[in-house]
Every structure is written in C-alpha cells, then in structure tokens.
Amino acid sequence: PFNGKLVAVHAALGQAVQRGAALLVIESMKLEHTLTAPRDGVIESVDVSVGQQLAPGQRLVTFAVEAGAAA
C-alpha cells in the first residue's frame, strides 16, 4: 500500500508458508515494514528482488492455487 525499497526476501519458490510468516521486508521513510503471508499456502513465484523500488499495487508474491480451490 506504499512506495519503498525491498530490503529482504524471506519467501522462495515452492516454499510452504503459514499465515503470518514473514515474506518480504520493505524500507519506506526510514522504517522497515515486514509483509506477511495472508494465509497458509505454497509460493508459486516471487516477482521482485532485493534493491528494487516498489509501488502500490505491484505484484510481489504469487501463491499457488490449491487443487479444488476456486481461482
């Protein structure tokens, strides 16, 4: 929801994560903000890299769609 610089990536392709697990750390206005998993799932892709400037609405991480779940 804000601009910032990506300073850490804790998520990896294929990694199973639980709701609340730290995925990314963004630095904005000299503060670090940890973005966490909104639900349990498996990481399908990490669409950003450390050092990259991020913008609101930008896709950061994609979760795999579970079998039998609505897309």
Residue 68 lies in a domain: no
Residue 71 has pLDDT above 50, yes or no: no
Q: How many domains does the chain have?
A: 1
Q: What is the pLDDT of residues 33-61, one digit of tens each?
A: 999 999 999 999 999 999 999 999 999 99
- Provide the CATH number for the domain around residue 46: 2.40.50.100
Provide the pLDDT for residue 2.
81
pLDDT of amino acid 67: 58
pTM of the model: 0.85
Positive or negative, the Cα torsion across 14, 17, 20, 22? negative
Q: How far is CA 26 from CA 1, 39, 63, in A?
A: 11, 20, 19
- At residue 66 the predicted structure's pLDDT band, cuts being 50, 70 and 90, is confident
Residue 21's domain spans which residues? 4-63
